[in-house]
Amino acid sequence: MRRREWRVVLSGSVALVLAAGAASAQTVARWSDAQPAGVFFNDYDPNFHTGFVPRVQEPDRIKIHLARGNQLRIRMVLPDSTIDHYLEDQVVKHDLYQEVIDKGVIELTSNTAWEDYHQKVVGEGLHEKAKQSAAATGEARRQLNLEAIDRLNPERLYRIQKDFNAMADRWRELLAASQLGEKPELGDELDLINELFPHRLFVYELSDEQEAAFLDLVATAKAGDAGTFRTKTEAFFHDITGGIYAGNLQAGKLDYWEYTAIYPAGTYDTTTRHDGKRIPMITTPGIWYFMPRMHGNGMIGMVDYISGAGYYGLIPMFPYEYGGGSAYNSIHNTGISNWIAGHQLLPREWTKYTEGSRNGKPYNRVALTSRGPVSHGCTRLGSGHLAELRELLPSTSADMQGIVNYRNISHCYDVFDRKGDGNVEIMGVQYYFAFRHTNARVAKEIWAQNNRKDFYEWMYGDEMNYGPIGQVTFDDVCEGKFVGRKTREGKHWQGLTLYEAPYQPETLQFYKIKGVERLSDPGMDFNRELRRVGHGYEVDRAVLRLD
């Protein structure tokens, strides 16, 4: 492989000695918008996700992006197996939850998310639809499942249709006009390669064979042989994308389905200066891969590691950087214990919030993520969003290993053609909480009030032109560029609109395993196994205490 040197920037839980940067926006004011957010609960019990996301078992089809604005985007190219077995998977998952409840293996605690989820399954008629799907074939089966994915996951499913021959012809003109030189720089080659399928290709390194094939394509383009160029381009495209589109490219037409989810994210507890302004800092930018955690205070040796520290919510986290000792940087949950009663920042109305409370009383705590500088170096998601992310990913630890995590430099945005229709947007999300916390993990200061206008003025400042949802624009922004495993400032865009993904409710059901300590090996195994339901994976019923 032809690679460029890269440097690890240690941060956060990897380098706790770094001091948090000063920022003038910090206040101890109470949040004024009382609309509930996050996950309300009582104790750090095990939990399972009560939502309807699809699972993709092939890691090459999954890409994760973190960028300016403090949001994490996951994009998945859906394989036939995920689509065709979606309804079946949802029913199998529901019925497994039902079985461990009915057989008394677990006791539900804190909330009634299970009951809400069960009623949704019944109300949607998922069992009957799954039977219809199993009896159907071909396009009829596909349509039943696609309709279900779209209905149960609004604004996340996209059909991408492209004229691949037209893409190749446009690319041929670009390569024919290029001036790479005799010994081109990798970054210049990657710029041209990624233009074949903009905002879907994020190639960041080339093998010697791939580079030779690309340079041959450049020569073919300059020679003007359009037919040969199309044939070679298709082969090259399948090679650099790992063949994930092979079944979706027929007779010069590319036609497939994508699933995209966007979550608010917390980043390292400091700011950086760009163009004279203070903005949240993204540490360890570049390309990082999910890895098994081999050190820690929980069961080790797997990517879906569960920490024994209660404030991590007994939800799998996803390590991507090892820092020595037991320190890792990971994607994990809020990492915060917000006791509601007497809290100086939380809306007072939350002290009386009882919706979905299993005992009918107000909750003790709320797990609330900060969309801003907050972490010791990791990337934080809401607890419900982290559990949902786990549902999207492959069932096994081995199949999660190596999932690519693209991390922008702090001032560059996630610029993306969400629908694949040429409408390029800046990615964002409708979530407006940002805070810092003490060393004891208690929220102590807010970065901005939790209304959209105040939050955006803090997050984006004069980079944006404020307006209603769907009408926030930016005069000039950069996107990230990845060369080797480093991130650089990439292309600049003018006049882009901010796409504000709806905030997805965080759905978790808390439980206790009868007769099993939650932090014991059997408890951890149970917690992890219950989250692994998906086509192609057979759950271990002995681990789940069902056999």
Q: Which residue type is seen at 37?
A: A
Predicted local distance difference test score (pLDDT) of residue 7:
27
Q: Could you tell me the two tokens for 116?
A: 């809400």
Q: State how far the Cα of 543 lies from the Cα of 89, in Å rounded to an integer.
A: 20
Q: Is the pTM of this model over 0.85?
A: yes
Three-state SS string over 162-183 comes to EEHHHHHHHHHHHHHCCCCCCC
Predicted local distance difference test score (pLDDT) of residue 277:
92
What does the domain layout of the chain look like in residue ranges? 24-155+257-510+522-529, 161-243
Structure letter (DSSP) for residue 247 = G
Axis crossing angle, helix 164-176 with helix 208-223, rounded to the nearest 10: 80
* Contact status, residue 287 vs residue 405, Cβ threshold 8 Å: yes
Question: Which residues touch 246 (CB under 8 Å, ≥6 apart)?
Answer: 238
The SS3 of residue 294 is: coil
Q: Which residue type is seen at 296?
A: G
CB atoms within 10 A of CB 37: 23
Q: State how far the Cα of 100 lies from the Cα of 197, in Å rounded to an integer.
A: 46
H/E element, 273? strand 271-274
Query: What pLDDT tens digit does each residue of the chain (547 aa) get?
Result: 333 222 233 333 433 333 333 345 688 899 999 999 999 999 999 999 999 999 999 999 999 999 999 999 999 999 999 999 999 999 999 999 999 999 999 999 999 999 999 999 999 999 999 999 999 999 999 999 999 999 999 999 999 999 999 999 999 999 999 999 888 999 999 999 999 999 999 999 999 999 999 999 999 999 999 999 999 999 999 999 999 999 999 999 999 999 999 999 999 999 999 999 999 999 999 999 999 999 988 889 999 999 999 999 999 999 999 989 999 999 999 998 899 999 999 999 999 999 999 999 999 999 999 999 999 889 999 999 999 999 999 999 999 999 999 999 999 999 999 999 999 999 999 999 999 988 778 889 999 999 999 999 999 999 999 999 999 999 999 999 999 999 999 999 999 999 999 999 999 999 999 999 999 999 999 999 999 999 999 999 999 999 9
79 closest CA partner among 215, 275, 230, 259: 259
Q: State how far the Cα of 316 lies from the Cα of 333, in Å rounded to an integer.
A: 9
* Contact status, residue 403 vs residue 242, Cβ threshold 8 Å: no
Q: What are phi and psi of 48, to 5 degrees?
A: -130, 155
Q: State how far the Cα of 96 lies from the Cα of 88, in Å rounded to an integer.
A: 12
Q: What are phi and psi of 325, to 5 degrees?
A: 60, -130
The SS3 of residue 491 is: strand
Q: State how far the Cα of 253 lies from the Cα of 268, in Å rounded to an integer.
A: 43
Burial class (CB in 10 A: 0-12, 13-18, 19+), 122: exposed
Q: Could you tell me the two tokens for 64?
A: 């994760």
Predicted local distance difference test score (pLDDT) of residue 25:
64
303 closest CA partner among 285, 322, 287, 286: 322
105 closest CA partner among 116, 114, 97: 97
